[in-house]
Amino acid sequence: MVAAIPFPMIDPVAVSFGPIVIRWYALAYIAGILLGWFYAVRLTRNDGLWGGPSPVSRAQLDDFVLWLTFGVILGGRLGYVLFYNPGHYLSHPAEIIRVWEGGMAFHGGLLGVLVAIIWFAKRNGIPPLSLADIVTASVTFGLFFGRIANFVNAELWGRVTDVPWAVVFPGAGPLARHPSQLYEAALEGAALFIILRVLTHRYGALRKPGVVTGVFVAGYGFFRFLVEFVREPDAHIGFLPGGLTMGMVLSLPMLAIGGALAFWAWRR
């Protein structure tokens, strides 16, 4: 089978200076955080979106970026270790800190960011749901670039298929597969950003704290659940009972909790 889209053989190392190596994976996280921060600043400056002054100041937002970064990295890595490969990392604990080699779980990163939001909001007297709304409206940039980085790294590929846009990934055998990383970039990144922007700029969702956060959580859970039907399960986990995957199991609660939060916040 010949792939309709030849895999771009991009070196995962973007720049190297002697022992210093900068990977595209790291640059994707940096780009996502910087663009997300820029968009979040624009949201807080637009009083019309809030029906008055934003409950989060620019200075507080600048301070929170560091908290957010630690929440994403620590939560994402620990989530991958605990949810996807605990046995391996218990046997090789030194590998837990090798974030540059890949291995991040969105669901763990979400929990890490949630902890950072609650902690920072309490310390600074900020409404937690309003801060969460700003973060979730802006985090789609990171999701988009993160999935593109997964594609560049030729990891987290899809299942075998004969669709015209299938790709033969290096390390995944000779058969063409769904480029599921690009599906996730389009859905979890671009589509979710458009949905949240319509809510914030057309329907005034930021005036009802929790709506944006709930829609983001439910939307991500829904899109991720759909993509799991064409995404190859982790080899060391495989399929769970009922043909489910670990990604599906972790996404279903997000769909329920996010939907309930959005409904409650909108009706409040």
Q: Report pLDDT digits (tens) over 168-213.
A: 998 888 899 999 999 999 999 999 999 999 999 999 999 999 999 9
pTM for this prediction = 0.86
Distance CA 188, CA 227 (A): 10
Examine the pLDDT at 10 and tell me if it is beyond 70.
Answer: yes
pLDDT value of position 177: 95
Q: Which of 21-30, 36-45, 175-184 has the weakest average pLDDT?
A: 21-30
Report for 27-31, 82-86, 243-247, 262-266: range of highest mean pLDDT? 262-266
Distance CA 97, CA 81 (A): 10
Considering the chain, what is the average pLDDT of its residues? 88
Per-residue pLDDT tens over the stretch 212-250: 999 999 999 999 999 999 999 877 678 888 889 988 998
Between CA 37 and CA 25 the distance in angstroms is 19
Place of tokens 């999935």: 147
Residue 154 backbone dihedrals phi, psi, to 5 degrees: 55, 50
DSSP letters, 97-110, are G-GGG----HHHHH
**Lookup result for tokens 């900020």:** 126
Residue with tokens 């100041």: 57
Cβ of 201: how many Cβ atoms within 10 Å? 14
* Residue 139 · residue 36 · CB < 8 Å: yes
Answer for the pair 121, 128: CB distance below 8 angstroms, yes or no.
yes
Residue 107 neighbours by CB distance under 10 Å: 24
Phi and psi, residue 21, nearest 5°: -125, 130
Residue 151, classified by CB atoms within 10 Å of its CB into exposed (0-12), middle (13-18) or buried (19+), is: buried
CA-angle at 133, arms to 196 and 186, nearest 5°: 35
- The pLDDT score that the predictor gives to residue 1 is 46
pLDDT for res 117:
95
The C-alpha atoms of residue 157 and residue 230 are separated, in whole angstroms, by 9
Of all residues in the chain, the percent with pLDDT exceeding 90 is: 59
Question: Could you give the CA distance from residue 166 to residue 202 in angstroms, rounded to a whole number?
Answer: 37
Q: Is the pLDDT of residue 97 over 80?
A: no
The alpha carbon of residue 66 and the mean position of all alpha carbons in its chain are separated, in whole angstroms, by 17
